[in-house]
Amino acid sequence: MSLGYAEKLSFRADVGKVGMPELFDSDIDLQSKVEKLAELIRESRHMVVFTGAGISTSCGIPDFRGPKGIWTLQHEGRPMPKAETPFHQARPSLTHMALVELVRAKLLKFIISQNIDGLHLRSGVPRAQLAELHGNCFMEKCPSCRKEYLRDTEVETIGLKETGRRCVLANCGGKLIDTIVDWEDALPSTELYLAEKHSKEADLVLCLGTSLQITPACNLPLKALRSGGKLVIVNLQGTPKDKKATLLIHGRVDEVMAGVMKHLQRRIPPFVRIDRMIVSCSFSWTRRKSVRWLLRIASVQGQREPLHFLKCVEVMYPHRPDMKQGLLHEQPYVVRRETMKLKALDVLLKLHLGEGCMCSTVEIEHALNFESCRSTNQIALLNSSETMQIIACKTPEINLETAMETLRVQAADDETCGRVAILETRDLPTSRGSAVEYAIVTSIFTHALAIKRERLDEHFSESKRGLENSIDFKEGIPKKPRQFKPRSKNFAPDSDISSK
């Protein structure tokens, strides 16, 4: 959770039990329970997962009631804990990514989250399969048309207050509000309806990293019990619902989920970070038959919003050596030119990526057309070492979530950072010209614990085959055992391993 969020909440003396001791199952019990949980998931027809702050602690975000939780330290009169990672740079944990894989495998039907950190959406969980009961600190919403705006930085307000921005949809222009509920606010009706619906339909509810103390959210998992469903709780502390649980696991959620995925024979996908931007070009013809044009590189959230993933942009013209190249350091990135008797122009944009990105540069070749253009429908996926040619024309509507998921899956499969996809191409509403929205894979992170289990599985499989091959069953004579070398001497199980 965001420390800023905790500080902005209105004061409440009674926040429930805090600072309870952490409980750990023995290794043997933990292994047995993990196997049982995997079997329950395999047998379920409608599994729902209910998540709390405990699934984000490994991301560097403090919880509330743990030994070093925010409310625990406040209760003891000690200073607030420090986040290990800037909040907008936090990346989803192994548990987040395991849930993404379970959704893709159709083993997980719905996620109900009390967290406001936005990591479920960032991990790739479809919006339609997620209820964020307490809101999302990166989300704004238009109360008039219900459109949601997911920002790159935290929204400044909480308590469903106006943020100072307006809806950009035509014929709307409503005042945007934040989505974070304060103590006295009711839970959002749409989110609560979906959460209740899926809880009643569930034959298995898996609670991960939650103390199940905040009402009314904590009572949702119990709705499954009334229709014969089962309740599983994975938490390091006791909860008020423990006696109602079919299975109670005291262990770290990342370790539990890594074991579950192993038994389900499911790979934990890497986290693929995708950043988006819009390249627009407006133009007008002069009486001298020259064209004046303006090229702008901006955020999808508005021209005044920063592009945090960019350091600078080189603008080049590969087929026009007579035209001067440009290096843009300050946002907004804008190029203004006037060119004689020009109907089309290829512009090469070399994006220099900033801190937190795993590739240094990405090149996009953007083809400008200063004449009327036909409607096309294009989605391109490529590597950072390649370039992309696009004629900026209006395209039929593309499903944004589908295009993003396609990009995310392909980048994860071939572990290629720097892939680019065209999400949308549209005409500018107020002037001649068009805009293209790009999605760019800027980082791919694979969790070390997932890699460790994969390597151990491979090693044990090879060892087993070696043992079987060490006996010549025809002659009954032992062969010389095969020797296996460790994959890596410097393997660190508690750190993240990044792959490009």
Round to whole Å and give the CA distance between 427 and 142. 24
Round to whole Å and give the CA distance between 85 and 449. 19
Q: Alpha helices, DSSP H only, in 66-128? A: 70-75, 94-104, 119-123
Round to whole Å and give the CA distance between 62 and 168. 35
Round to whole Å and give the CA distance between 101 and 124. 9
Round to whole Å and give the CA distance between 376 and 370. 16
Number of Cα atoms under 13 Å in the Cβ half of residue 117: 30
Backbone phi and psi for residue 128, each to the nearest 5 degrees, phi listed first: -70, -15
Question: Is the CB of residue 151 less than 8 Å from the CB of residue 139?
Answer: yes
Question: Which residue among 134, 198, 250, 366 is the active-site one?
Answer: 134
Residues paired with residue 333 on neighbouring β-strands, in sequence order? 297
Helix (H, G, I), strand (E, B) or coil at 455: helix
For the beta carbon of residue 115, count every other beta carbon within 10 angstroms.
26
Number of Cα atoms under 13 Å in the Cβ half of residue 34: 22
Is position 134 annotated as part of the catalytic site?
yes
How far is residue 52 from each of residues 8, 15, 136, 255, 448, measured CA to CA in Å? 19, 15, 13, 16, 22
* Listed residue (133, 134, 123, 146) closest to 59, CA to CA: 123
Question: Is the CB of residue 135 less than 8 Å from the CB of residue 115?
Answer: no
For the beta carbon of residue 490, count every other beta carbon within 10 angstroms.
4
Question: Is the CB of residue 151 less than 8 Å from the CB of residue 180?
Answer: no
- Angle 323-327-330 (CA atoms, 0-180°, nearest 5)? 135
Round to whole Å and give the CA distance between 335 and 313. 11
Question: Is the CB of residue 311 less than 8 Å from the CB of residue 353?
Answer: yes
What the block records as the tokens of 109 is 């039907």
Peptide bond preceding 221 in cis form (omega within 30 of 0): no
Number of Cα atoms under 13 Å in the Cβ half of residue 486: 5
Query: Which residues are part of the catalytic machinery?
Result: 134
